[in-house]
Amino acid sequence: MTRLIFALVIATLAFAQAALIPAVNLLSIGPNFVLVLILVWSAERGMAEGVIWAFPVGILLDLLALDPLGANALALIPVAVIGGLARRRVFHSGVIIPMLLVLGATIVHQGVASLVEITTGSSLSLLGTARLAILTALLNVTVVPFLYIGAAALDRLGVTRASRT
């Protein structure tokens, strides 16, 4: 039951992130809800479960945002690994550590996404990409408390946790 609810939540956030938020956002960037949720979920449930969710939701984001197929999927895999390595005990130490992890995971995510873009033949401004990564990371930090509380509530619904890998 928990996984079904999580699937609905993450799919809804992916649709909102790719279609709804850019249409109503006054800024040209917004927080990456999916990234934060994958990080929190993999820290709660384990690296393997995070990777299992990261890849298909990344493909969904690629299709919705018309990004190169696999770009978001590949960029979300390291995020799940970071969350899995952080483990549950780090997340129970308070919300500051998860915020710092989201900062780092966002930078890694943006770096992988940029590498994928470069391999597809796109030209990127290194300074522009760095600025975007920093701004997105700061926006991502603002949503950590909300998604952290939501994921913890889902976790308490009681499905057996994945093994900690």
Q: Where are the domains of the chain?
A: 2-155
Rounded to whole angstroms, the Cα distance separating 86 from 109 reads 16
CB 32 within 8 A of CB 10: no
Looking at the domain 2-155, which fold is it?
A: Arp2/3 complex 21 kDa subunit ARPC3 (1.10.1760)
Work out the average pLDDT over 131-153. Answer: 79
Tens digits of per-residue pLDDT, 23-80? 776 666 778 889 988 988 888 888 999 999 999 999 999 998 888 888 899 999 999 9
Given pLDDT bands bounded at 50, 70 and 90, which one contains residue 91? low
Work out the average pLDDT over 113-124. Answer: 78
Tell if the pTM clears 0.85, that is, is over it: no
Query: Mean pLDDT score of the chain, rounded to an integer?
Result: 81
Buried b (16+ CB within 10 A) or exposed e, 54-73: bbebbbbbbeeeebbeebbb
Given pLDDT bands bounded at 50, 70 and 90, which one contains residue 165? very low
Q: What is the pLDDT of residue 162?
A: 46
Given pLDDT bands bounded at 50, 70 and 90, which one contains residue 161? very low
Rounded to whole angstroms, the Cα distance separating 25 from 54 reads 25
